[in-house]
Amino acid sequence: MPTPPPTGPLVTRDTLATDLRALGVEPGEILLAHSSLSSLGWVCGGAVAAVQGLLDALGPDGTLVVPTQSGDLSDPSHWGNPPVPRAWWDTIRATMPAYDPLVTPSRGVGVIPETVRTWPGALRSAHPQTSFAALGPRAAEVTEGHARDCRLGERSPLARLEALGARVLLLGAGYDTCTSFHLAEYRIPAPRAGAGRPGPGGWEVVSEVSIDSDGFDELGHDFERDRPVVRAKVGAADARLFPVSDAVAYAERWLPVHRSRAAEV
């Protein structure tokens, strides 16, 4: 049976840049993008054209930042999608390659971030599981100094983005992907947990703040109700644009009331 033709809309590099400008993306700004390529429609040129459109909207003085997480560099005893046999765990821990920002692929964040990660001139931060990649004149400023024991807190690119006045673009992505909310988790009572992963000297366990995106959709709904969030279509995708600082400040107030984890500490 023949494959049905795409339903569109047809999206190109130029139409994407035009839609992003209409949304409010400004030349020269710093933009943290969470994205879904498939939500845009039929993109001529795929992820490459999508990245080109984002860079066109930002202009030569703008900086594009994306999450390039690699959560698979973790303890196999916690894997569930899919799980692996218990008999494999020790071998996996002993042989898993350590994080290398140049070659470790991103996982679970979509094809646009992975395209940015491999783009000429891209820089990537140092955390083995929750790195960010950036393109543009402020890329080094955003990605440098990401502590290996601070996934998404004060010594991560998120705090740097907040300080630099960056904005978040949700491009066909929901609030459950909004990493800025995690920065708030570091500023309220939260439990800590040991995180196992491969390190330069072998398997290591590092104590980290326990982060959890549970409830972020509800948090995002309330945030959008109470704070100015710009909304428009980009291609076929629902797009949202708002400051990192607004998202963090709102989450700092919302989380202790609606999802307190202080008792777990």
Q: What pLDDT digit, counting tens, does each position of 42-91 carry?
A: 999 999 999 999 999 999 999 999 999 999 999 999 998 889 999 999 99
DSSP state of 231: E
CA dihedral 242, 243, 246, 252 (to 10 degrees): 100
The answer to whether 124 and 117 have CB atoms below 8 angstroms apart is yes
The DSSP output letter for 77 is: G
Which residues neighbour 143 within 8 Å (Cβ) at sequence distance 6 or greater? 123, 124, 125, 132, 133, 134, 157
Average pLDDT across the chain, whole number: 94
- Residue 94: pLDDT over 60: yes
Query: Residue 66 pairs with which residues in a beta bridge?
Result: 133
* Pairing mode, strands 10-11 and 42-43: parallel
Tokens describing residue 158 = 């998120």
Strand-strand pairing, 63-67 and 30-35: parallel
> What is the reported pLDDT for 263?
41
pTM equals 0.94
Q: How confident is the model at residue 195 (pLDDT cuts 50, 70, 90)?
A: confident
- 1-49 pLDDT, tens digit per residue, is 677 777 779 999 999 999 999 999 999 999 999 999 999 999 999 999 9
b/e map 88-125, b = 16+ CB within 10 Å? eeeeebeebeebebeebebeebbbbbbbbbebeebbbb
